[in-house]
Chains A and B, each alone.
Chain A
Amino acid sequence: MILLQVESISYSISDKQILDDISFSVAQGQFIGVIGPNGSGKSTMLKIIYRHLKQTSGLVTLFEKDLLQFPQKELAQNIAVVSQEAPVLFDFTVKELVMMGRTPYKKWLASDKNEDYAIVSDSMRLANITHLANRYFSELSGGEKKRVLLARALAQQANILILDEPTNHLDIEHQYQLMDLVRELPITIVAALHDLNLAAGYCDELLVMKDGALFQSGTPEEVLTKETLQEVFRVNAFVSKNPFTEKLHLFFYTEQ
């Protein structure tokens, strides 16, 4: 079943074209990776999907309904986001921050119910941060902060989870831990990823972006070829297989 459909969206700021005629669709349960060099428009495209930005032209539909028609609350019940920057003014405890994931379900004056506490503690357990529940967010390390934001997104119980470079600033252990965690989730994921080997190892489908346009899409095997990597990322790559996971693995080198 198609959850999200992106139909020829473009985005420009004054005269500068940031995104150019992008179309793709996201089916239920898929793990889609968005890859591309810096400035290729990955984050901008994600921001349009979670409606922080409005496309200049084109249409995004969620459940066959125009995304722009959704009330903000209903949108937040369907799409949860872990974005790159998460500045927090004033300090909250981890538990309070994760509870904020329940905001889209709350009417005026509604109190936190047992159901909400159960969802919050499940989300914290999944993100492996239960032991941090009463700590202050500002005291945490970069990796712990990322996992708190992920737990908050999980508490939203949305259909689609959007991750903008979720493994940024994480050490290698936490990169794999986070990717393992999100892959096991029974929801649809769209993630912008920098590490091509992580993308190859975890995603069902990859969207390759170059200069604001969709260069190619397909399974990791289809798109991560020597030629594509040469043209989009300007690196030489030797495409191999990881002997332990049987997934695609890339070795990069330059001519020098």
Chain B
Amino acid sequence: MTKTRFMLLLWILVGVLLISITFAVMLGSVGITPRIIWEILFAKLGIPVETSASRAQAIIIWEIRLPRVLLAALVGASLAICGAAIQALVKNSIADPYILGVSSGASVGATVVILLGAFSALGMYALSLAAFLGAISAVAMVFLLARVNGRTSVIRLLLAGIAISMVFSAITNFMLMMSKQQGGIQAVMHWMLGSLAGAKWSNIAIPFGTLLVVFILLFMNYRQLNALLLGEESAGTLGVNIDRFRIFIIIFVSLLTGVVVAVSGSIGFVGLIIPHLVRMVVGSNYKYVLPTSALVGSIFLVWADMVARIVIAPEEMPIGIITAVCGGPFFIWMLRKRRYSFGEGE
């Protein structure tokens, strides 16, 4: 991949993202033209334009539809770059951002709030906060279990992730089994499969800020991420302080994944397939993989959310079902391609 071709690809993806966002905002029971959307956007950004939009249209676009579409883009980008970074961290192509226990930890937090009414003093923020705390405590446990003699072992990290996920899932299932509230159980199921319906300007600020910080930090270290793919020994001889760098990735990736899961539930598959799809096109160099994954991830999730909104309208399908249904067959198609090795090398 040459630099000019990469820049071209990047601009094309930015264009596709903007068009996808416009489409997604247009979609709904109140018909809105693309022209009106951009007029309102420019007006809100302080650029004076003449607009024919009504006040109702402006509210629907600005307060309801746009936050949701932007959250979809943010979540998609976050999960995709976290997946790419985690795959380098554990040097394993089947890894996804949830492999360190984030989603099962978050599920316990969410279930406690929905079924047992914990943190009710916090009102609408209780669910996100509990999910975030659950996610971070699960990762902290996995991390501590994987430390031996002051070093983080990759295989222990993976196995501890599986063990902690099993324990936390058991806790969630136990609470679900013991619960008598049908509505509550349904709400937990809905949450676990992911939804972007709760998007507001007030709750997309934190994911946006975290995504920005984590993306910049990872991108600044793309050389180290590349070196990790060569193995622990080679990365060390290339000047990477392996242990410190691993801790760095674990902290920031878990932080971003935790924040995203807290607002949208654990949307599966995005963090696994997007990095692979991107490598098929741009190669393995993280200098290209990270920005491309962010854009492709956000485009994918914007479209997945559109499908989630219309497929059983006026009901909403949990977005996790859409990502799995669209992602699965596509991933199988990739598996059958010869040219892409999924990191097997030979």
Binary flags per residue of A104-144, CB closer than 8 Å to B gives 1, else 0 = 10101100000000000000000000000000001000000
**Bound: A138/B220 CA distance, A:** 27
Given contacts A87-B230, A90-B279, list 5 more A-B pairs with CB under 8 A.
Answer: A72-B241, A91-B341, A101-B238, A104-B239, A106-B223
From B221, B230, B236, give the contact of A100 (CB < 8 A): B230
In the complex, chain B residues whose CB is within 8 Å of the CB of A44: none
In the complex, chain A residues whose CB is within 8 Å of the CB of B238: 76, 100-101, 103-104, 156
In the complex, chain A residues whose CB is within 8 Å of the CB of B284: 90-92, 96
**Bound: A106/B220 CA distance, A:** 10
A52-B237, A104-B238 given; A87·B231 CB < 8 A: yes
- Whether A80 is near chain B, meaning CB under 8 Å from some CB there, is yes
In the complex, chain A residues whose CB is within 8 Å of the CB of B230: 86-89, 100
In the complex, chain A residues whose CB is within 8 Å of the CB of B223: 100, 103, 106
**Bound: A51/B235 CA distance, A:** 12
**Bound: A50/B221 CA distance, A:** 23
A81 touches B237 (CB 8 A): yes
In the complex, chain A residues whose CB is within 8 Å of the CB of B237: 50, 52, 76, 79-81, 83
In the complex, chain B residues whose CB is within 8 Å of the CB of A73: 239, 241
In the complex, chain A residues whose CB is within 8 Å of the CB of B226: 92, 96, 100, 103
In the complex, chain B residues whose CB is within 8 Å of the CB of A101: 238
Nearest residue in A to B244 (C-beta to C-beta)?
Answer: A72
From A47, A90, A106, give the contact of B343 (CB < 8 A): A90
Nearest residue in B to A52 (C-beta to C-beta)?
Answer: B233
Count residues on chain A whose CB falls below 8 Å from chain B CBs. Answer: 34
In the complex, chain A residues whose CB is within 8 Å of the CB of B345: 87-89, 91, 138
- Whether A77 is near chain B, meaning CB under 8 Å from some CB there, is yes
User: Can you list 15 A-B pairs with a CB-CB distance of less than 8 A?
Assistant: A52-B233, A52-B236, A73-B239, A76-B239, A77-B239, A86-B230, A86-B234, A90-B284, A91-B283, A92-B283, A96-B285, A101-B238, A103-B224, A103-B226, A104-B239
Interface centre among B229, B234, B343 (most CB of A within 10 A): B234
Task: Point out residues on A near B: beta carbons under 8 Å.
Answer: 47, 50-52, 71-77, 79-81, 83, 85-93, 96, 100-101, 103-104, 106, 108-109, 138, 156
**Bound: A109/B216 CA distance, A:** 9
Nearest residue in A to B285 (C-beta to C-beta)?
Answer: A96
- Whether B22 is near chain A, meaning CB under 8 Å from some CB there, is no
Pick the 7 closest A-B CB pairs, nearest first: A76-B239, A104-B239, A90-B284, A73-B239, A81-B237, A72-B241, A108-B220
Binary flags per residue of B232-259, CB closer than 8 Å to A gives 1, else 0 = 0110111111000000000000000000
In the complex, chain A residues whose CB is within 8 Å of the CB of B190: none
- Whether B227 is near chain A, meaning CB under 8 Å from some CB there, is yes
In the complex, chain B residues whose CB is within 8 Å of the CB of A85: 231
Nearest residue in B to A92 (C-beta to C-beta)?
Answer: B284
Task: Point out residues on B near A: beta carbons under 8 Å.
Answer: 91-93, 220-221, 223-224, 226-227, 229-231, 233-234, 236-241, 279, 283-285, 341, 343, 345-346
A83 touches B233 (CB 8 A): yes
Q: Shortest CB–CB separation between residue A93 and chain B, in angstroms?
A: 7
In the complex, chain B residues whose CB is within 8 Å of the CB of A83: 233-234, 237
**Bound: A70/B229 CA distance, A:** 24
In the complex, chain B residues whose CB is within 8 Å of the CB of A88: 229-231, 345
**Bound: A76/B240 CA distance, A:** 9
**Bound: A90/B231 CA distance, A:** 11
In the complex, chain A residues whose CB is within 8 Å of the CB of B92: 89
B346 touches A138 (CB 8 A): yes
Nearest residue in A to B230 (C-beta to C-beta)?
Answer: A88
**Bound: A19/B220 CA distance, A:** 40
In the complex, chain B residues whose CB is within 8 Å of the CB of A91: 283-284, 341, 343, 345
**Bound: A51/B241 CA distance, A:** 12
In the complex, chain A residues whose CB is within 8 Å of the CB of B229: 88-90, 92
In the complex, chain A residues whose CB is within 8 Å of the CB of B346: 138
Nearest residue in A to B217 (C-beta to C-beta)?
Answer: A108
Nearest residue in B to A96 (C-beta to C-beta)?
Answer: B285
B239 touches A89 (CB 8 A): no
A89 touches B93 (CB 8 A): yes
Q: Shortest CB–CB separation between residue B233 and chain A, in angstroms?
A: 5
Q: Shortest CB–CB separation between residue B281 and chain A, in angstroms?
A: 13
Nearest residue in B to A84 (C-beta to C-beta)?
Answer: B233
Nearest residue in B to A104 (C-beta to C-beta)?
Answer: B239
**Bound: A72/B241 CA distance, A:** 6
A92 touches B231 (CB 8 A): no
